Amino acid sequence: MMTQPPLIDPFARAISYLRVSVTDRCDFRCTYCMAEEMTFLPRRELLSLEELDRLCSAFVRLGVRKLRVTGGEPLVRRGITEFFSAMGRHLGTGTLEELTLTTNGSQLGRFAKDLHAAGVRRVNVSLDTLNAEKFARLTRWGRLDRVLNGIDAARSTGMRIKINAVALKGFNEDEIFSLAAWCAGEDMDLTFIEVMPMGDIGTENRLDQYWPLSDLRARLAARLTLTDLSERTGGPARYVRVGETGQKIGFITPLTHNFCEGCNRVRLSCTGQLYTCLGQEGSADLRAPLRARSDDRALEQAIRAAIATKPKGHDFDYSRGIRGQMSRHMSHTGG
């Protein structure tokens, strides 16, 4: 049972979804996400798993019902299965409705059984191509076969898999139908995502990578029957049903179609910074009140104060060139 009044932002949106980054590190270096030579945060700045447990538990008390664990790559964090098990206790009491994970899939083969035992029933896997050579080039360090084996391991436990594919101009434009057909054949949902201006990625130019999903959807609609669905899963995706296969395909369009009006989520970084908007630089420090005292009174007050500053929407807009780029990397923000 919720013991505190719910979190309501200035625009009457109830905050019920927390995305938490447990590490900024990753075993891939995807060209739209990171520079090849990344400087990661000093380990001493990261919250311990016990501190992350305390923070997430405070949010659950305040009305968060969905918790998504992200990174970086969350499964490279030492002891991460213990954190999932700790969060699973909130599923047992009914105060948390869903515990989920976003991953690149590289470590799923190792951890699938432990994740399922902790209560994870849905996993989002980031996968932008089914071509092994292109996958290696995009991720710089990744192996496609390892990701596919991880997906198989997760599915064997009964977990539901959704594939997240970033739409990249000139890279995977020729794969949208093969990706859709593969997901349909494997009974996995698929969501396409527009590339977002997060962090310095070195020599890559996101304006060259940017492929609006309005164009991608039009290409799909030229060959497939797409019917809009009204359902939402707590995130920003808008879904269609494909008549020919019955599968569900989602579109996350932070640039061509702002999805802020129904935003119910905030993001917690691995250092304890709370970002109330993905596309704004403002944040609130929760690490200081967390460490200042053993009880959570000051922490809960800080959370409520941060939610009271949540903006109406973000500033992503490639029509203004690269303006609106966030200085922080997505791996630090929490997905």
Residues annotated within the binding site for S-adenosyl-L-methionine are 32, 72, 126, 196
Angle (nearest 5°) at CA 16 between 10 and 17: 110
CA gap 114, 165 in Å, rounded: 25
Q: Which residue has the tokens 């954190």?
A: 83
Contact 125, 86 (CB under 8 A): no
| Nearest CA among 47, 114, 105, 37 for reference residue 76 | 105
| C-beta atoms surrounding 45 within 10 Å | 13
Name the token pair of 210.
Answer: 């940017």
Cβ contacts of residue 224 below 8 Å, gap of 6+? 180, 242, 243, 244, 245
What residue numbers does the annotated binding site for [4Fe-4S] cluster cover? Answer: 26, 30, 33, 260, 263, 277
Q: Say how far apart CA 313 and CA 259 lie, in whole Å.
A: 8
Q: Amino acid identity of 268?
A: L
DSSP code for 272: S
Helices (H) and strands (E) in the chain, counts: 11, 12
Q: What type of residue is 285? A: D
Residue positions forming the annotated binding site: 19, 26, 30, 32-33, 68, 72, 102, 126, 162, 196, 260, 263, 265-267, 277
Count Cβ neighbours within 10 Å for each residue of 21-33 and write b for 16 or more, e otherwise.
bbbbbbbbbbbbb
CA pseudo-torsion sign 240, 242, 248, 251: negative
- Which residues are part of a known binding site for GTP? 19, 68, 102, 162, 265-267
